[in-house]
């Protein structure tokens, strides 16, 4: 199972970059977790857009869905040109249907609500969900394949339930929207120190900080997270990859 960062920014992308988006590949099957602003342009540096079979959407905020429409239209065009016959499946939180109906354009794209209490399978990767504290329905995602585990918090306030969800994961990708000492919870997000604490409590092998803020010096986020987590800490950046095998 391989995961690649496409976008690492919260709210909006910096110039030439993207907000939340991650490519997951396993045994020839490719899908996305989220598809934020700038994602479609950026992801084509790492994969053929026509190979993307599905998107798991954690929630409907723009920095996580802004390029879903562009991805759907790319599939409309690619099918019209006979470059692919694959339908794009967009999986979304069942509570948020009204926000996703615009993306259904059969046969190019279909929308499929997920029940967060169930386990889904994408190309041999088992996917489970954990609801997070955020202003809209939002779900953390756990990916499991061949004994390896990757967890993405999506947007979340600090909650020890997330540590249980990520227990002993090979990789935790945690949203890190604020610096130490700031009131991230008031905005439905986490600080660097909280990300480190979550990783330590979960006993994960590696922590990636993502959903980064547009203020301050982001390198400081890594140093702050390292104060509460003794494992490997990395700042997410486009092209950062882990092969969990």
Each residue's pLDDT tens digit, 77-108: 999 999 999 999 999 999 999 999 999 999 99
Burial class of residue 244 in the structure, from the number of CB atoms within 10 Å of its CB (0-12 exposed, 13-18 middle, 19+ buried): buried
In order of their start, the domains of the chain are 2-243 (3.60.15.10)
Give dist(CA 110, CA 86) in Å, integer: 11
- Number of C-beta neighbours around residue 219 at 10 A: 9
Using only C-alpha atoms, the chain has a radius of gyration, in whole angstroms, of 17
CB 219 within 8 Å of CB 235: yes
Is the pLDDT confidence value at 232 over 90? yes
**Strand 52-56 relative to strand 2-7, pairing:** unpaired
pTM score above 0.85: yes
Burial class of residue 160 in the structure, from the number of CB atoms within 10 Å of its CB (0-12 exposed, 13-18 middle, 19+ buried): exposed
pLDDT of residue 206: 98
Kindly indicate the confidence band of residue 188, based on its pLDDT and cuts at 50, 70 and 90: very high
> Tens digit of pLDDT for each residue in 53-81?
999 999 999 999 999 999 999 999 999 99
Kindly indicate the confidence band of residue 244, based on its pLDDT and cuts at 50, 70 and 90: confident
Give dist(CA 75, CA 103) in Å, integer: 11
Over residues 211-228, the mean pLDDT reads 98
Give dist(CA 138, CA 132) in Å, integer: 6
Is the pLDDT confidence value at 51 over 80? yes
Over residues 137-151, the mean pLDDT reads 98
């Amino acid at each position: 199972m391989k995961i690649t960062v496409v976008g690492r920014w919260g709210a909006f992308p910096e110039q030439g970059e993207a907000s939340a988006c991650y490519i997951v590949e396993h045994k020839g099957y490719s899908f996305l977790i989220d598809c934020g602003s700038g994602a479609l342009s950026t992801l084509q540096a790492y994969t053929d857009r026509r190979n993307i079979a599905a998107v798991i959407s954690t929630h409907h905020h723009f920095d996580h869905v802004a390029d879903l429409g562009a991805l759907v239209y790319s599939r409309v065009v690619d099918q019209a040109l006979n470059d692919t016959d694959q339908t794009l499946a967009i999986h979304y939180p069942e509570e948020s249907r009204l926000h996703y109906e615009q993306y259904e354009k059969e046969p190019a794209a279909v929308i499929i609500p997920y029940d967060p209490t169930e386990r889904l399978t994408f190309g041999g990767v088992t996917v489970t969900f954990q609801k997070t504290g955020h202003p809209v329905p939002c779900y953390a995602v756990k990916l499991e394949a061949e004994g390896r585990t990757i967890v993405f918090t999506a947007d979340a306030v600090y909650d020890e339930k997330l540590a249980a969800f990520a227990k002993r994961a090979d990789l935790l990708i945690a949203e890190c929207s604020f610096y130490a000492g700031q009131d991230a919870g008031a905005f439905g997000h986490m600080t660097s120190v909280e990300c480190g604490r979550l990783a330590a409590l979960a006993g994960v092998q590696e922590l990636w900080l993502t959903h980064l803020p547009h203020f301050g010096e982001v390198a400081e986020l890594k140093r702050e997270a390292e104060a509460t987590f003794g494992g490997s800490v990395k700042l997410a950046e486009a092209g950062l990859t882990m092969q969990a095998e």
